[in-house]
Structure 1
């Protein structure tokens, strides 16, 4: 039996407002000391990988409002092929985000972690990790209840 998306399965954030509040608190905490533009790239990349249309819609719009170029947003799914379009810090954060989004049998590869640890202070690295973990949680919640993007 297949399920056709006609809307959310149930309004999880209305049914469980504590969940929404906790996720918002985690999102706010994770965003501290991370450049907003970098944060949006992290959120978009994880959301692409997790196929979360709701989050992709939200974070691509937010990124554009912050001045992230259309080109960066357009090629983000293939950032490793984009030459120097992305900064070293962005590349380190994106590689770490991808590793955290699809954890293999051995977790985050040592080389990915080492590049990120060189690109960020310990505080920043913790925040980047927290941001990737947080957007993955949002993506999984929205996937479970099939939250569609709002119609514009």
Structure 2
């Protein structure tokens, strides 16, 4: 597959990079941040982002077992703790939005595991990766590409 276009306005790129970086800093859990970004990227079929975030997750010590079972996290209760499961459920709810909103029970479960600031940063992180996914998939940026 070749990219449809590699043109991306520098201001857009910088703004999204800044949002992503701020969200990760405020969330303050690098491994879980990568799991969230990988899960959204799986749902959105973004090979570029999957390739990037899988490598980063490994650098942050995320286990191969978690990476292997991430797409079936709901069935892998012994692999993901309650905090991780709440973040992944929120990721799916924000990414898919099939009901037009995030269900109260999903949000409330996440709020039980994350204080207000971390929850806000988690929502920003989910929003940022969804934006990146759509930019990369829409332009068909292949995995490993250095021109995007």
TM-score class normalised by the smaller sequence? over 0.9
Matches within 5 A, 1:14-53: 16-34=9-27, 35-53=29-47
Map of 1:10 onto structure 2 = 5
For 1:148 and 1:97, how far apart are their aligned partners in 2? Answer: 23
- Relative contact order: is structure 1 or structure 2 higher (C-alpha 8 Å, sep ≥ 6)? 2
Moved over 2 A (4+): none
Greater gyration radius: 1
Superposed displacement of residue 89, structure 1: 0.9
CA deviations on 1:38-86 (whole Å, 9 max, x unpaired) are: 1000000000000000000000010011110000000000000002211
For 2:99 and 2:91, how far apart are their aligned partners in 1? Answer: 16
Unaligned residue ranges in structure 1 (runs of 5+): none
SS at match of 1:11: coil
RMSD across aligned positions (CA): 1.1
Superposed displacement of residue 87, structure 1: 1.5
Map of 1:78 onto structure 2 = 72
* Matching residue within 129, 137, 143 for 2:131: 137
Give the TM-score, by structure 2 length.
0.94
For 2:7 and 2:69, how far apart are their aligned partners in 1? Answer: 32
For 2:83 and 2:34, how far apart are their aligned partners in 1? Answer: 13
For 2:77 and 2:98, how far apart are their aligned partners in 1? Answer: 26
Superposed displacement of residue 149, structure 1: 0.6
For 1:116 and 1:80, how far apart are their aligned partners in 2? Answer: 15
For 1:109 and 1:24, how far apart are their aligned partners in 2? Answer: 28
Superposed displacement of residue 31, structure 1: 0.8
Map of 1:148 onto structure 2 = 142
Give the TM-score, by structure 1 length.
0.91
Residues 52 and 144, structure 2, Cα contact 8 Å, conserved in 1: no
Count of residues in Structure 1 that have an aligned counterpart in Structure 2: 144
Map of 1:69 onto structure 2 = 63
* Matching residue within 108, 113, 117 for 2:107: 113
